[in-house]
Amino acid sequence: MGKSVVIALGGNAILQPKQEATYTNQLNNVISATGHMIEIREAGHNIVITHGNGPQVGNIIVQNEAAKNVVEPFPIDVSNAESQGFIGYMLEKSLKNHIKERGIAANVATLLTMVEVDKNDQAFENPTKPIGVFFSEEEAKRMEADGYTMAEDAGRGYRRVVPSPEPKIIHGIEEIRRLIDETIVISSGGGGIPVYQDDKGMLHGVEAVIDKDRSGLKLAQQVNADVFMMLTDVPNVYINFGKENEQKLSHVSIEEAEQYVAEGQFPAGSMLPKIQAGIEMAKAGKEAIICSLDQAVDALEGKAGTRISK
């Protein structure tokens, strides 16, 4: 009997920081990533897929702003929905093509997913989620003067940051649970379209980008996954990342992970939410894996990546 695996594909794995933001580059990365996901499925594991959207939602916002004299820009919740649509389309199309080529039996369904947040979440006062492309310090200063909130992102340059509230409720979770034995479900993309419920139970969109590692953890918990696998653009988690004494981590216990978090080894908005999600999985007796998309199969077999477990 295989494992039940929730796979989160990072937005920075779909569009790597050094790549030009073309559709073709993103599609090629998705074709490659989905090939590895299908190998995991062929090895007998049950997979549920989610994905990030940081670079993509940022670029949609830039497109909106560039055309603002012609079409009024849409709010960020709508840009999240657009990114879920186009990334879900790339994933579903690529998965179906791999399935056809390999002659295996599997269905795929992409669900547009709203995720509820608390409209009074402190995150609205303190934007931390990096989106879009990277800028130099000088460019970031100019953008700050134009009213944008900018932050340094893990030594890679400066990016725009937006609020990232905690995911509370995944809409459609019952339907996801019903589908996953038969179908590869793609859900909660970009952390989910952020909405809140008012006093009368009415849903409204909010201007935020939910962290997909936090939503992915919730998804993994709610479908009772054995493994939460976060595919990103680095092969491992490191301590002293980017420094001369950088050290690769292969297995991390709960205690070690908590110690590294306390030391400030992981920045908010990139590696910290992955590690925090990993700690939660490990505390529930499950495991989390952080690795690059081309090493997903090896990582599941314990031969690559960073594993967090008891």
Ligand X SMILES: Nc1ncnc2c1ncn2[C@@H]1O[C@H](COP(=O)(O)OP(=O)(O)O)[C@@H](O)[C@H]1O
What residues are labeled active site? 11-12, 129, 212, 274
* Closest distance of CB 178 from ligand CP, Å: 25
In the list ligand X, ligand CP, none, the entry touching 266 (Cβ below 5 to 8 angstroms by class) is: ligand X
Long-range contacts of 261-269 (CB under 8 A, 24+ apart): 265/239, 265/240, 265/241, 266/237, 267/153, 267/154, 268/128, 269/128, 269/129, 269/130, 269/151, 269/153, 269/154, 269/161, 269/164, 269/211
Contacts of 300 (CB under 8 A, 6+ apart): 3, 5, 40, 43, 45, 227, 229, 289
> How many residues belong to the chain?
310
Within 10 A of 201 (CB to CB), how many other CB atoms are there?
Answer: 6
Binding residues among 145-204 for ligand CP as defined by CB under 6 A:
190-191
User: Measured over all CA atoms, what is the biggest interatomic distance in the chain, rounded to whole angstroms?
Assistant: 57
DSSP state of 243: S
2 versus 17: smaller Cβ distance to ligand CP: 17
The two tokens of residue 143 are 């953008």
Could you tell me if 196 and 118 are in contact, meaning their C-beta atoms sit under 8 angstroms apart?
A: yes
154 versus 195: smaller Cβ distance to ligand X: 154
Task: Work out which of 38, 99, 114, 154 binds ligand X, going by CB under 6 A.
Answer: 154
* Residue nearest ligand X, Cβ-based: 10
Stretch that binds ligand CP, among 20-28, 105-113, 116-124, 206-214 (CB under 6 A): 206-214
In the list ligand X, ligand CP, none, the entry touching 234 (Cβ below 5 to 8 angstroms by class) is: ligand X
Task: Please work out the total of residues on this chain that contact ligand CP, with binding judged by CB under 6 A.
Answer: 11
Is residue 232 involved in binding ligand X (CB under 6 A)? yes
Is residue 210 involved in binding ligand X (CB under 6 A)? no
- Which residues share a beta bridge with 4? 46
99 versus 140: smaller Cβ distance to ligand X: 140
Is residue 233 involved in binding ligand X (CB under 6 A)? yes
Is residue 2 involved in binding ligand X (CB under 6 A)? no
**Phi, psi (5° rounding) for residue 169?**
-135, 125
Is residue 209 involved in binding ligand X (CB under 6 A)? no
Give the C-alpha distances (Å, rounded to integers) separating 109 from 3, 13, 52, 175, 228.
20, 21, 17, 11, 20
Stretch that binds ligand CP, among 5-13, 38-46, 62-70, 236-244 (CB under 6 A): 5-13
**Phi, psi (5° rounding) for residue 112?**
-70, 120
* Closest distance of CB 243 from ligand X, Å: 10
The 235-274 contact track toward ligand X, x by CB under 6 A, reads --xx--x-----------------------xxx--xx---
Contacts of 20 (CB under 8 A, 6+ apart): none
**Phi, psi (5° rounding) for residue 110?**
-105, 125
Separation CA 250–CA 241 (nearest Å): 14
Is residue 156 involved in binding ligand X (CB under 6 A)? yes
80 versus 270: smaller Cβ distance to ligand X: 270
Task: Please work out the total of residues on this chain that contact ligand X, with binding judged by CB under 6 A.
Answer: 19
* Closest distance of CB 209 from ligand CP, Å: 5
Binding-site ranges for ligand X (CB under 6 A) = 10-13, 52, 54, 154, 156, 232-234, 237-238, 241, 265-267, 270-271
State the residues that interact with ligand CP by CB under 6 A. Answer: 10-12, 52-54, 190-191, 209, 211-212
